[in-house]
Amino acid sequence: MLKTLDVLIGLSVVMLLMSMIVTVITQFVTTMLNSRGKHLLQGLVDILRQIDPSLEPVIAGKIARAILLHPLIQDVRGRLGNVVHREELTKLLLELAAGSGPQALEADAKTALLKTLAATGACKGGTAAEMESQLRATIQNIGALALQLELAHPELTNNARARIAILEHVSSGFVAKINLWFDQTIDRVSDRFTQHTRFVTFCGGLLLALIIQLDTAALVGRLASDDALRNSLVDQAKTMQRDPQSPDLHLTSTEVQNIRDLMTNNLVGMPTSWSDWRGRWSADNLVIKLTGILLSSILLSLGAPFWYNALQNLLRLRSLVAAKDDDQRRQRQLALPAATVAAGGAPASDDRAILADERGDMAVVG
């Protein structure tokens, strides 16, 4: 039992360290692709088209892109922002339509947005200039009321003050639809981004497993046969402390050293050349090795938090099993002297009785 647990602990250590590398790869890919911003862009397009179904997808995309490229929303690289709050969305739409902010919409997008705001009651009808003037006045009124609320109720959060001010001065179907659909849409955006991240994680795990030829079956076999390696990984597991939900995805110096130790033990290792990588494949067990690598990629896609929690649970279970084995060993050691005395006394008397029966009474024969 204890050996099986040690094999599982050793496997968890390897998977945890490798999944940390996969996590870094996933973060790099999603950041470079600006995946979160692109998914949020599609979510804002959905909200805009929900507010006004007649809004064309291309026009809605221009408006949503202008929002996410706002200087206060865009990311540090000047790309699509990753986060926008409901009140921010409402104020930015009013600002874009009024033309009073740093972002400027294209003419067709601005005309469509003004038409949408007029149709949903955010402003009265009229010429474009009249509607822009109305929206600028509304924005000023919202800001003034937010300041009054900050003086009167400093305990309120900024979002709460903005929400009250918006509901006071833009109480219309426009605000009602945003408030009604924003949270559900953002939840769906998060789900889509999560699915996208899982796909990238699986691809990253498969790529890493192929490069280093991480074969789970071979790894388990070696851990089962190599006592020194298994014990070293168990000792290493006892020193690994990491918050599984920590936003810091950078490998620590200790974790980097642990990965180097794995390479020293030839459990994992980067090939030095193309010929070196090809030489590690064997034609007689190619299918088995590919199956083990595919299983490794699936296990790596579970993520570092999963393997950290699994490792901690296995260590706790191991301590309980080890304590139970120690108790049983002490009980056997305590029972051994009594068993030895009984084994040394009773058989002697039995032997004498058997010998007496076999020899008979010689005195009777004479």
Q: In terms of residue numbers, what domain contains 180?
A: 33-196
Query: Given pLDDT bands bounded at 50, 70 and 90, which one contains residue 219?
Result: confident
In a domain, 88, yes or no: yes
Work out the mean pLDDT of the chain and round it to a whole number. 83
In a domain, 320, yes or no: no
DSSP label of 73: T
What CA–CA distance (Å, rounded) separates 259 from 217? 20
Q: Do the beta carbons of residue 164 and residue 145 sit within 8 Å?
A: yes
What pLDDT is attached to residue 248?
Answer: 45
Considering only 72-86, 104-118, 242-256, 269-283, which range has the smallest mean pLDDT? 242-256
What pLDDT is attached to residue 251?
Answer: 56
In a domain, 220, yes or no: no
- For the purposes of burial, counting CB atoms within 10 Å of the CB of 365, is it exposed (0-12), middle (13-18) or buried (19 or more)? exposed
What pLDDT is attached to residue 22?
Answer: 92
Radius of gyration of the chain (CA): 36
What CA–CA distance (Å, rounded) separates 218 from 266? 12
In a domain, 92, yes or no: yes
Q: What is the pTM of this model?
A: 0.76
In a domain, 215, yes or no: no
What pLDDT is attached to residue 183?
Answer: 93
In a domain, 153, yes or no: yes
**What percentage of the chain reaches a pLDDT higher than 70?**
81
Q: Indicate if the pLDDT at residue 336 is higher than 70.
A: no
In a domain, 218, yes or no: no
What pLDDT is attached to residue 359?
Answer: 44
Domain tally for the chain?
1
Q: Do the beta carbons of residue 92 and residue 182 sit within 8 Å?
A: no
Q: Indicate if the pLDDT at residue 337 is higher than 60.
A: yes
Q: Which of 66, 133, 61 lies closest to 93 in space, CA to CA?
A: 66
What pLDDT is attached to residue 101?
Answer: 82
Q: Do the beta carbons of residue 48 and residue 60 sit within 8 Å?
A: yes
Region 263-271: mean pLDDT is: 62
In a domain, 82, yes or no: yes
What CA–CA distance (Å, rounded) separates 296 from 21? 14
Please give the residue that has the higher pLDDT: either 327 or 168. Answer: 168
Query: Given pLDDT bands bounded at 50, 70 and 90, which one contains residue 30?
Result: very high
What pLDDT is attached to residue 255?
Answer: 60
Please give the residue that has the higher pLDDT: either 22 or 339. Answer: 22
Region 148-168: mean pLDDT is: 91
Q: Indicate if the pLDDT at residue 1 is higher than 50.
A: yes
